[in-house]
């Protein structure tokens, strides 16, 4: 999608605080960080939501998860971090390009228990 902000960032049209890049994935610092370490990992291929991912997307999704702890450790959140994928309107997704949040760098409050 040519007007998707994350597609534009992945193509280099919009500057970002890039922390990792390869042929399929880009990771960059969130512009509104919620923790000392707050990075987004996005596939360069446009996938609107996790619910839109197909079996063919499984390798890149796996690589995103594999990269998360490496990036967290490199940026100082090696003692613990959260990974979050918001999916759809009711899941809190604001940008409709699949992205994985890494949050860490400080003790994080406990998740609510249901």
CA distances (Å), 74 to each of 14, 21, 33, in order? 24, 14, 17
Active-site residue 99, yes or no?
yes
Phi then psi for residue 94, to 5 deg, are -105, -35
Sign of CA dihedral 13, 86, 48, 63: positive
Distance between start and end Cα atoms, the chain? 37
Count CB-CB contacts under 10 A for residue 17.
12
Our separate counts of H helices and E strands in the chain read 2, 5
User: Among residues 38, 97, 99, 101, which one is catalytic?
Assistant: 99
Catalytic residues: 99
């Amino acid at each position: 999608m040519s007007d998707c902000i994350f597609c534009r960032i992945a193509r280099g049209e919009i500057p970002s605080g890039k922390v990792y890049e390869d042929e399929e994935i880009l990771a960059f610092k969130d512009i509104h960080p919620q923790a000392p370490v707050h990075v987004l990992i996005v596939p360069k291929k446009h996938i609107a939501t996790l619910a839109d991912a197909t079996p063919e997307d499984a390798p890149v999704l796996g690589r995103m998860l594999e990269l998360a702890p490496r990036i967290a450790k490199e940026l100082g959140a090696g003692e613990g971090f959260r990974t979050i994928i918001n999916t759809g309107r009711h899941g809190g997704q604001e940008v409709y390009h699949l992205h994985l949040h890494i949050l860490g760098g400080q003790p994080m409050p406990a998740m609510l228990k249901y």
